Structure 1
């Protein structure tokens, strides 16, 4: 029944279009004769008009159908539609002119009539289509809405900016009126895009905003460098303008977002770095058709790993996390959106310290590639609970490595931390111990699994990181608490971090520790100030910044390598390698026994001293 209704609708629609084109063509043909003979058509030509109109109009209708005009939606009319319409009508004119030369004008309209017919038909149909587009996109309520629309400047007069301008003009319900463009290309200044002037270069945003009474800028060059994005945002904020940006270029290309789906510019846009160029072929070769396990799959890093791994079509993806709510959120927010028909996805609520359950998991699923992201990562919390840090970060990693080797997994990649470098915290030291455990398993007799670790710094927006904390403090009116005015940290987006983890995994032959290029460190107080500005507030007027001093286990600045480490370049510019030398004196079982004894005693000071015994570069807070 529904199919019949659709067919009936399209038949009626096609008939209506055919009738419109037929009437327009008849009127145009008739008018062409009148214009050719100054509205005094001779009798013989008047008879020719009557005798030829049926087949001339019929020919034009057939060519319009061939040009796809009968399938068009009248309210959508852009340059490609105009070109198709022009092509169909022009083809009709060429055929008629050819016939005139072949038949020497016998029973064929005069040449001037043919050309006039072509021009009138094109103008009539194109004008009607333009009117239909205007009518559909701007009803009366839209015209009134434009009176109260917000004046906006568009930064970037390229294809993205032009498309955004068109969208805002046609979707006036969005309440934004583009009044001017700004662009870094001086050759574009003074020109018009969709009737909107490219008023000046971007650095003159304050003057242009004042001239056009604009209250907002929209940054419409998603491929620009992060540095340039930051500069433009600062110029706009200094001018007292709100700052929005278009969706990411990848979302626009994939169709996940539209140009008009603007969002406020966020800290991630200003602290992140330029897009990473990954060797996707190597990653695909490592993951395609493989059975992949991700531990800590519900966390910030784990969930992004899951999303990116799925794009490389593994045969099976096993997602494990000890937190029930983390697995629930993963299934709702990630797996529903990225599930693939080529990949079998399994989720498990499981503590990897549970040896029998972990063994059973490996026996059932036989994972080939393992990404170990499960960890306790909060420095302050773990400083008072070293037992938890050791059990989850070291003992669980040691057990996972042993079981992976026993089941002949192809490779295991540990997600480590820059806090494992010359650690001053229990969390950092426990991560360093996990690296040592993987190194020991790599050198164990009979091992065929490739073990490697990847270190990187703070991930923007991850749970418990400084940025969500600052957002909450701003929302409650402050103050924002910063440990020290000189404290610095490295930041990267979760997408970049995970992409580089996958890239690192392709380069490992076993026993390596990879260090991601974190770029330049950022002062935490500068992060706080940027977040205040992005919220449209003023420091010391709306929100205060309070310095509370470094907490136990915290560093003033993070380091990129151990005192004794020498980093080597890899095939990727943002990934460096450290190959740990085989230490004949290192005894993983002695390390394990000492730490287990200290854990059994339960004294924080003794546990930290036991860690320091085996990680001499660790400087504990006692």
Structure 2
């Protein structure tokens, strides 16, 4: 009652739009009074029509009693079916159905009374046309009243939020596009206002859909006065190819429009529409069709098994844990040396998978004594080795740390997997291990060689498998989050070189490859992924700036800072002397890289580990170059070692 009083006070004071939209619902007693008024008016109209037609009614002297009976019966069924109980401003077909039930029951009851009185007195109390006329008039007016109130509130809310709402044009006129547009149109509380449709079709220029015009894209984007009436294009990403997505994005950004994406309504509840609509991100343009893992094989490898994930708190490791948890293993041991990320992951996983048993272990993989106790206790069936140092410039400055983690750590985990007869050991490697130009890549290639050498040792039962990835979208320290932070700060975006290119894949893709490799491998393979076309980092930066609503080199500057130590312009997935073998999965290949015998790589690893203990940077890198002859330093202090080797060869 207070809300209603406040609303009428607001009307008197002139602040009607704001206050009326704050009114949550019309009180039920007012709805009942209005419905009774409609009943009276319907009776009046019914008899007026009969009078115009000069129709003589039965029992004219009892007209008051007849009308009281009609009203009483109708009121009784209104309370039975609670036609007043719905919130009028949110009326739906269900409210019409309740009105039909109430008025229909009234009609049937009065017809029954009519029939009985007709049998007793020889003529019916009401003329049957009067009852049917009353039924149609009352039902129509009651539902019209509810639709009128609903539309009234929608208009008020639309006026109230007009300045703050995003004016959108939905791309396309397909069923999915129309469903999305209808959801926006019928929900005035959403922060979007439908202003039209844009399509490449030219046969719909004069058509109107859901009360809004359909514009041909050529006409729409050439007419600057028209595009100024919109704030954003709204696309459904799932029904577009990558080429179409890029085309619409370019057209929108070149004309000062934002690009919003929404999933199909079939993929979410209608109430989730607002949360489902987001600004298009650069990741959407880089995504490719993901690998589909063979769930039956993966389930068999993990169900009721003990699984270890090293580096489990990292970007790749944590996603492996999430995916493995879906296959109901007996236990997942998540091992990492980063305390805070491990704790945060623990909180997330315990909430997300309350039925799954986890063990979170804070440990350093270079400590073999600590690791052995873990292997002895849990008797793992699968080991996913994702622990590694990966940042090229940092590792170039601290090569001994790469040896401790990437070489010694991998050696420890692999040897313990062999000793405790782990069924499968899957190592996460990198494309930087191919023809490496930095210490990080060379250390990962050394780890690959050691892992492969274990496969054919006498008595070995473990299948050792390696997977190579490109750059992972959204991983810790990767280029896209870095650029995003720079844009948020107003720039500049820093790029090492205008011609630098990189391959990209998503974190889920990378982890699906890991799981797939674990089921496909017979042991000793290095799996590489068909990563599509490489992306020029300069183009990536310009797109991100445009998607953020800015102009490259105008609002956000782009600055070239030179290649970092050890960095190269392009990455490779295969070494020069490697050949590939296809697998049953068209996106996955096996790289046939040169091997080193176990005794030889074991001896070389011991030497480089001893050098790392002494913190002798040059000696560490020299030994890495002995292990990996194709390791040629680039833009690094260690280039001197390559020149020395060339001199020695020429002499």
Name the TM tier (shorter chain). Answer: 0.7 to 0.9
When the two chains are superposed, the root-mean-square deviation of aligned CA atoms in Å is: 4.1
State the shift of 1:158 in Å: 4.2
Q: Which moved more, 1:377-386 or 1:279-288?
A: 279-288
Correspondences of 1:81-120 after superposition (within 5 Å):
81=94, 112=129, 116-117=133-134, 119-120=136-137
CA distances 1:394-436 after superposition (whole Å, capped 9, x unpaired): 2211211222233333322212111112222211122222222
1:391 counterpart residue number: 404
Partner Cα distance (1:285, 1:112) in 2: 73
1:539 counterpart residue number: 552
Alignment partner of 1:433 is 2:442: no
CA distances 1:331-383 after superposition (whole Å, capped 9, x unpaired): 45x436x6223312332222122223222223343333332221111111112
Correspondences of 1:84-483 after superposition (within 5 Å):
112=129, 116-117=133-134, 119-134=136-151, 139=156, 142-146=158-162, 149-158=165-174, 161-162=177-178, 164-166=180-182, 168-169=184-185, 176-184=192-200, 190-201=206-217, 204-207=219-222, 210-211=225-226, 213-223=228-238, 224-246=240-262, 248=263, 253=268, 257-259=272-274, 262-332=277-347, 334-335=348-349, 339-483=352-496
Three-state SS of the structure 2 residue aligned to 1:245 is strand
The answer on whether the counterparts of 2:91 and 2:147 sit within 8 Å (CA) in structure 1 is yes
Partner Cα distance (1:103, 1:462) in 2: 81
Partner Cα distance (1:103, 1:278) in 2: 73
State the shift of 1:93 in Å: 10
Three-state SS of the structure 2 residue aligned to 1:474 is helix
Partner Cα distance (2:390, 2:243) in 1: 29
Which residue of 521, 524, 541 corresponds with 1:508? 521
Cα pair distance change 1:540/1:76, threshold 3 Å: same
The answer on whether the counterparts of 2:427 and 2:465 sit within 8 Å (CA) in structure 1 is yes
Partner Cα distance (1:38, 1:517) in 2: 84
CA distances 1:473-505 after superposition (whole Å, capped 9, x unpaired): 334444333222222100122233223333333
The answer on whether the counterparts of 1:301 and 1:498 sit within 8 Å (CA) in structure 2 is yes
Partner Cα distance (1:586, 1:28) in 2: 101
Cα pair distance change 1:117/1:528, threshold 3 Å: same
2:647 counterpart residue number: none
Unaligned runs of 5+ in 1: 1-12
2:561 counterpart residue number: 548
Cα pair distance change 1:371/1:258, threshold 3 Å: farther
1:5 counterpart residue number: none
Three-state SS of the structure 1 residue aligned to 2:554 is coil
CA distances 1:299-352 after superposition (whole Å, capped 9, x unpaired): 2222322333333443433222211121133245x436x622331233222212
The answer on whether the counterparts of 2:58 and 2:126 sit within 8 Å (CA) in structure 1 is no
The answer on whether the counterparts of 2:403 and 2:609 sit within 8 Å (CA) in structure 1 is no
Alignment partner of 1:564 is 2:564: no
Alignment partner of 1:619 is 2:636: no
The answer on whether the counterparts of 2:190 and 2:274 sit within 8 Å (CA) in structure 1 is no
State the shift of 1:457 in Å: 0.7
Partner Cα distance (2:381, 2:107) in 1: 66
Three-state SS of the structure 2 residue aligned to 1:37 is helix
The answer on whether the counterparts of 1:151 and 1:212 sit within 8 Å (CA) in structure 2 is no
State the shift of 1:387 in Å: 1.4
Question: Normalised by the size of structure 1, how large is the TM-score?
Answer: 0.82
Which residue of 76, 90, 102 corresponds with 2:90? 76
1:594 counterpart residue number: 607
Cα pair distance change 1:492/1:37, threshold 3 Å: same
1:4 counterpart residue number: none
Partner Cα distance (2:111, 2:293) in 1: 57
Partner Cα distance (1:120, 1:306) in 2: 64
The answer on whether the counterparts of 1:251 and 1:257 sit within 8 Å (CA) in structure 2 is no
Cα pair distance change 1:378/1:581, threshold 3 Å: closer
2:20 counterpart residue number: none
Cα pair distance change 1:266/1:30, threshold 3 Å: same
Partner Cα distance (1:105, 1:128) in 2: 35
Cα pair distance change 1:250/1:351, threshold 3 Å: farther
Indicate the structure (1 or 2) with the bigger Cα radius of gyration: 2
The answer on whether the counterparts of 2:307 and 2:333 sit within 8 Å (CA) in structure 1 is yes
Cα pair distance change 1:182/1:594, threshold 3 Å: same
The answer on whether the counterparts of 2:470 and 2:503 sit within 8 Å (CA) in structure 1 is yes
The answer on whether the counterparts of 1:49 and 1:109 sit within 8 Å (CA) in structure 2 is no
Question: Normalised by the size of structure 2, how large is the TM-score?
Answer: 0.79
State the shift of 1:520 in Å: 0.4
Cα pair distance change 1:431/1:543, threshold 3 Å: same
Cα pair distance change 1:327/1:113, threshold 3 Å: farther
